[in-house]
Amino acid sequence: MTDYISREAVIDCIDKAYDYEYDLGDSRHNDMFKDMIEAIPSENVQPIVHGTWLAKEYMPGDPGVGIKDMWIERRAEQSDFHAYCSECKKDAGYSGEQRLILSKFCPNCGAKMDLED
């Protein structure tokens, strides 16, 4: 599996390593490594967006105490009637039997549904 890293982060590491370890007073080696890294062709990649399926639950308030009715947001479960993506706020899909599909990726924005509480 290919790992994608930030070119700027690698160059920053080289700067810090040479400043800390060698203090050569001559930056030719440092510049050579930077030039080599900058010459590596870049890949066209997208960052992974992480999300979770959410559902809203109605919580009736207690009028005697002055607590108003409200909707609370919580992690969706397979038994829920309705769920939506935490990132794009669009609805999850439904199967042919109108059962909720909580897939590993949002079909609308592509977010990976692996966020923990």
| 9, pLDDT greater than 90 | no
Higher-scoring residue by pLDDT: 3, 86: 86
**Using one digit for the tens of pLDDT, what is the confidence trace for 32-55?**
778 888 888 877 888 889 999 999
pTM of the model: 0.59
For 64-75, what is the mean pLDDT? 77
Spatial separation of the C-alpha atoms in residues 107 and 53, rounded to whole Å: 12
**Residue 12 belongs to domain spanning:** 7-39
With tokens 């960052």, the residue in question is 47
Residues 56 and 86 in one domain: yes
Residues 25 and 57 in one domain: no
| Contact predicate 108/88, CB 8 Å | yes
Residues 12 and 58 in one domain: no
pLDDT of residue 24: 53
Q: Domains in the chain: how many in total? A: 2
Spatial separation of the C-alpha atoms in residues 62 and 57, rounded to whole Å: 16
| Amino acid in position 72 | I
Residues 62 and 24 in one domain: no
